[in-house]
Amino acid sequence: MRGRQRVASRESMVAQDKDGNPASVRVPIAKPCWRRSLRHVIVASLSSFLYGYHIGVVNETLESISIDLGFSGNTLAEGLVVSICLGGAFVGSLFSGWIADGVGRKRSFQLCALPMIIGAAMSATAKSLWGMLLGRLFVGTGMGLGPPVAALYVAEVSPPAVRGTFGGLTQISTCLGLMGALFIGIPAKEIVGWWRICFWISVIPATILALFMEISAESPHWLFKRGRTIEAEAEFEKLLGGVHVKPAMSELSKSDRGDESGSVKLSELLYGCHARVMFIGSALFALQQLSGINAVFYFSSAVFESFGVPSYMGNTFVGICNLVGSVISMILMDKLGRKVLLLGSFLGMAASMSLQVIAASSFVPGFGAMYLSVGGMLLFVLSFALGAGPVPCLLMSEILPGKIRAKAMAICLAVHWVINFFVGLLFLRLLEQLGAQLLYSIFGSFCLLAVIFVKKYVLETKGKSLQEIEIALLAQEAT
């Protein structure tokens, strides 16, 4: 009975007669217009653009940086330049939940932009390896803060019917950031010092993010948890329209009970009643990174050049595959659902890695190996963008209960950054020690393990409000 009342409150309103008494006719309420919240999501997606840009900015420029700063040929130093920002991202991610709950989602985005501006300037003006590493570390703290806050913000300001599509926008922004970095970095090998320009350019979107977030909506969920009900209603009106304010507030009050977020302890997240959902989130992010995707993004230039393919051409195709997959994912997210996309994505990635393994074997001639390796890499990126890339962040922002959402997301993404760091740091060394065939086999095995994990543990969230998802999870844990 409660379930039917909940749906009715969200999708219809009761007509009244002249005396103010309820009539028997229910007047349907149209779904909230997605255009109201779109501009706020676009501004928030700039943080994802910056994340993608700083992931890709060292791909084309790493050789020039190493020559100019005097560590050319040192694979460990090159690995540090790539991965040190991931160490900073771990720190930023670890504290992102407390920051997001403490100062709000809007201020968190602005705090995310600040170290990206400072770090980019430090990297652009670096005179030594240590100066570059320090700048990349600063950038990393902003990279770690941005994605979890963006996932929270998009989930909390989007209408349920388009929440998956809007979540896909953040992945498209990441793709555009990666492609932008790759294209801007193309002249780095011909123009001395061009890599410094590449870092300076990133200051522009970071500044836009800090300024435009000032006029964007705050999350009504955060305001409500802080006891600022009137402000929450005003933000809902801005995001959904006046007719949807009361149903949205009614829905919100069923699971969020005032300012409870500050009472959540770390022990509750790791060992208490939320341990199951924390396990799902952490494992999903771990499997995403152990698939080897960031090894492709970081070192694709080296792989293409080993086969005589110009790196700019290969990286252009990588960027296109990433963007096309992300667009398809955005279109299908609210039609097929999160779980289907995850299963198909990890299966496709496993198949792609098998092509890489075959290419690395001695049975395939050089020309055939090139086609298999490059084709497998492009198929791998396309498969990743269809689900394993955009879904985990969105899914976690949906299934984590409102009381713990920000802090739990921070811990789950911290796992992501730790594994990302070690993949970036050790990939070249493992490639030398283990060989391509064994290393790609390991990556493919993790993709297959991810398929089994998703099938067993992941809950479908398509088209449900955050409160309905929370109730469904509580019922699942009780059985």
Q: Assess contact for 148 and 95: CB atoms under 8 A.
A: no
Domain ranges of the chain: 36-217+260-478, 224-259
Question: The tokens of 232 are what?
Answer: 């929450």
Distance, in Å, from the CA atom of 61 to the CA atom of 118, rounded to the nearest integer, reads 20
Q: Counting runs of H as helices and runs of E as strands, what totals does the chain give?
A: 21, 2
Residue 201, classed as helix, strand or coil, is: helix
| Percent of the chain at pLDDT exceeding 90 | 24
Give every CB contact of residue 18 below 8 A, 6+ residues apart in sequence.
none
DSSP run (H or E) holding 15:
strand 12-16
393-434: pLDDT as tens digits: 888 888 877 777 788 888 888 888 888 778 767 777 777 788
Question: The tokens of 389 are what?
Answer: 């890339």
* C-beta atoms surrounding 402 within 10 Å: 20
Dihedral over Cα of 74, 76, 79, 81: its sign: negative
Q: Where does the pLDDT of residue 260 fall: very low under 50, low under 70, confident under 90, or very high at 90 and above?
A: very low
Across residues 99-126, what is the average pLDDT?
A: 93
215-224: pLDDT as tens digits: 999 988 888 8
Q: Which amino acid is at 236?
A: F
* C-beta atoms surrounding 87 within 10 Å: 22
Q: Where does the pLDDT of residue 298 fall: very low under 50, low under 70, confident under 90, or very high at 90 and above?
A: low
Q: Assess contact for 215 and 250: CB atoms under 8 A.
A: no
pLDDT at 121: 95
Across residues 226-254, what is the average pLDDT?
A: 81
Q: Where does the pLDDT of residue 122 fall: very low under 50, low under 70, confident under 90, or very high at 90 and above?
A: very high
pLDDT at 367: 65
Q: Assess contact for 146 and 126: CB atoms under 8 A.
A: no
pLDDT at 273 exceeding the cut of 80: no
How far does CA 307 lie from the centroid of its chain?
31
pLDDT at 261: 44
More confident residue, 103 or 17: 103
Q: Where does the pLDDT of residue 106 fall: very low under 50, low under 70, confident under 90, or very high at 90 and above?
A: very high
pLDDT at 82 exceeding the cut of 60: yes
363-392: b (≥16 Cβ within 10 Å) or e:
eeeeeebbebbbebbbbbbbbbbbbbbbbb
Distance, in Å, from the CA atom of 443 to the CA atom of 9, rounded to the nearest integer, reads 47
Instruction: Give the bridge partners for 16, in sequence order.
Output: 22
Question: The tokens of 16 are what?
Answer: 């009244």
CATH numeric code, 36-217+260-478: 1.20.1250.20
pLDDT at 10: 40
Q: Where does the pLDDT of residue 26 fall: very low under 50, low under 70, confident under 90, or very high at 90 and above?
A: very low
Tokens 């992945």 belong to residue: 171
Q: Where does the pLDDT of residue 374 fall: very low under 50, low under 70, confident under 90, or very high at 90 and above?
A: confident
More confident residue, 21 or 274: 274
pLDDT at 124: 94
pLDDT at 365: 67
Distance, in Å, from the CA atom of 219 to the CA atom of 157, rounded to the nearest integer, reads 6
More confident residue, 282 or 424: 282
Q: Where does the pLDDT of residue 477 fall: very low under 50, low under 70, confident under 90, or very high at 90 and above?
A: low
Distance, in Å, from the CA atom of 477 to the CA atom of 479, rounded to the nearest integer, reads 6
pLDDT at 123 exceeding the cut of 60: yes
* C-beta atoms surrounding 460 within 10 Å: 14
DSSP run (H or E) holding 28:
strand 22-28
Q: Where does the pLDDT of residue 473 fall: very low under 50, low under 70, confident under 90, or very high at 90 and above?
A: low
Q: Which of 42-56, 58-72, 410-424 has the lowest mean pLDDT?
A: 410-424
Distance, in Å, from the CA atom of 110 to the CA atom of 185, rounded to the nearest integer, reads 27
191-211: pLDDT as tens digits: 888 999 999 999 999 999 999
pLDDT at 229: 87
Q: Where does the pLDDT of residue 341 fall: very low under 50, low under 70, confident under 90, or very high at 90 and above?
A: very high
Q: Assess contact for 235 and 223: CB atoms under 8 A.
A: yes
Which residue, 438, 450, 432, 237, is CA-closest to 356? 438
pLDDT at 24: 43
Distance, in Å, from the CA atom of 420 to the CA atom of 107, rounded to the nearest integer, reads 26
